[in-house]
Amino acid sequence: MTERYTTTAEYDHISVALKSYWEPFNNLLKEMNEFEPQPLSAFGEKRKRLFEQIQKMNPHMSNEEVSGYIDKDIASNESPGMQFWKRFSDRLMTMQATITLLSQALCEAEINAILAVGLYEKGLADQFAKIEKSDIRTKWLEHPKKFCPSYELKKDAELYVTLDHLIEQ
């Protein structure tokens, strides 16, 4: 009986999932680049509501003290940086985490497929289960040498630099 092996193409599904974020990510970048914060003068209604609330809760404060407190609050909470943060931080961080995890999964699925096929073709398929448990950096740097002794992934190569950055993320 001929020895057989199977490998999944899970990297194809991960690649499709990752590519599905390309347009939303570019749209988010465009929206971020086009963002124009509102001037502090645009928060007059908020200022008025806060003034009434604080004055009711603190009747001993003078109008000047309440105004000073509110002006500091609005200057801080509605600064251009805070407006940007409120508008984009959740979406950007969610997208960054999702893209990072999918990218890491794709890199791991790709190297696992390469290792599975390469080891099988050299009659070393029994080593895959142990190698698969290695960290992703070792998989890319060392394990292809088991079936391709001349393999070298130089640490200054763009692929390695990108992989290193991805691992850090």
* Triad 102, 169, 10: Cα angle to 5°: 20
Q: What's the average model confidence in pLDDT over 149-166?
A: 94
- Tell me the whole-structure pTM to 2 decimals: 0.76
pLDDT at res. 10 = 76
| The token pair that represents 139 in the structure block | 């998989």
Which 3-state string (H, E, C) describes the chain? CCCCCCCCCHHHHHHHHHHCCHHHHHHHHHHHHHCCCCCHHHHHHHHHHHHHHHHHHCCCCCHHHHHHHHHHHHHHHCCHHHHHHHHHHHHHHHHHHHHHHHHHHHHHHHHHHHHHHHHHHCCCHHHHHHHCCCCHHHHHHCHHHHCCCCCCCCCCCHHHHHHHHHHHC
**How confident is the model over 78-105, as pLDDT tens digits?**
999 999 999 999 999 999 999 999 999 9
pLDDT at res. 9 = 66
Please report, for residues 13, 100, 147, 152, the alpha-carbon distance to residue 118 in angstroms, rounded to integers and kept in the order given.
21, 27, 6, 15
Model confidence at 4: pLDDT above 90: no
Q: What's the average model confidence in pLDDT over 125-143?
A: 95
From 96, 132, 98, 97, select the one nearest 113 (Cα to Cα): 132
Q: What's the average model confidence in pLDDT over 140-166?
A: 94
Structure confidence at residue 1 as a pLDDT band (50, 70, 90): very low
Sort 111 into a burial class: Cβ within 10 Å, 0-12 / 13-18 / 19+: buried
Contact predicate 120/145, CB 8 Å: no
Q: What is the mean pLDDT of the chain?
A: 92
pLDDT at res. 11 = 85
Contact predicate 74/40, CB 8 Å: yes
| The token pair that represents 39 in the structure block | 């001037």
**How confident is the model over 31-64, as pLDDT tens digits?**
999 999 999 999 999 999 999 999 999 999 999 9
